[in-house]
Amino acid sequence: MTELFGQVNKLDPDKGLVTLRMSDDDLHTLQKYHATNNQQVLSVIASDDNEPTPKQRRFAFALLNDVWLSQVGGAWLENVESTRRHFYGMYEYYHGLDFGEFSLSAVKGNKSDTNEFINMLLDYTALHNIALSVKPLNELETQEIAHWEYQCLMNKCCVICGKRPSDLHHLDTIGQGVDRRKTNHLKHRAVQLCREHHQMAHSLGVETFLQREHLTGIKIDERIAEVHRLNTK
């Protein structure tokens, strides 16, 4: 049995028909199941717009597994479940929630808390150089990408793949012949990229690269400038 997800397009109660919109991957999986057993039974679970999405839950659990595999932490790394309980507890503590109040489930959870929880996990992975099994930019909701961009600049890990070493990549043209060491870098946009993705950005051009990777860039502030030893005068 496998779990697939889709958005309801049309309901026809008279005929007992439901039309779903599914991702290419899930549709391909469904087609494979149908090819081997055309009498298969599907289980349908309804959810509303405020519940954590399946994509959010998958990403959060993938990050928890990555942290556990890294073994960067304390005694709570005994297994994936103890790792989950640790971060649930941390989230509840820092957000003033009662014990057991936070959840990623469709019954108890909500989208906004889940997004903040994912950001907390990403902050931890960036700070401790933990290898990620999935690319955050493919998983994050649009409004959450800027947080990851900022953390990558602060922790010097590639915003695309999370790898180190990486370098700050300027998105705004400073000017031909201008010495960057003497330029005030504040408010210039930048992203953090490893060598491979740095080369990709140059070959594609700034705007094409940003659109392809769903990035906007972060304006350099005093904190970023200090981490990267950039001139601010």
Sorted by where each begins, the domain ranges of the chain are 1-46, 54-134, 160-228
Could you tell me if 221 and 149 are in contact, meaning their C-beta atoms sit under 8 angstroms apart? no
User: Which one has a higher pLDDT value, 169 or 39?
Assistant: 169
- Angle subtended by helix axes 111-127 and 54-70, to nearest 10: 30
Structure tokens at 220: 């350099």
Could you tell me if 132 and 66 are in contact, meaning their C-beta atoms sit under 8 angstroms apart? yes
Please determine, for residue 29, whether its predicted confidence score (pLDDT) is greater than 90.
no
153-190: pLDDT as tens digits: 999 999 999 999 999 999 987 655 455 666 888 989 99
This prediction has a pTM of 0.74
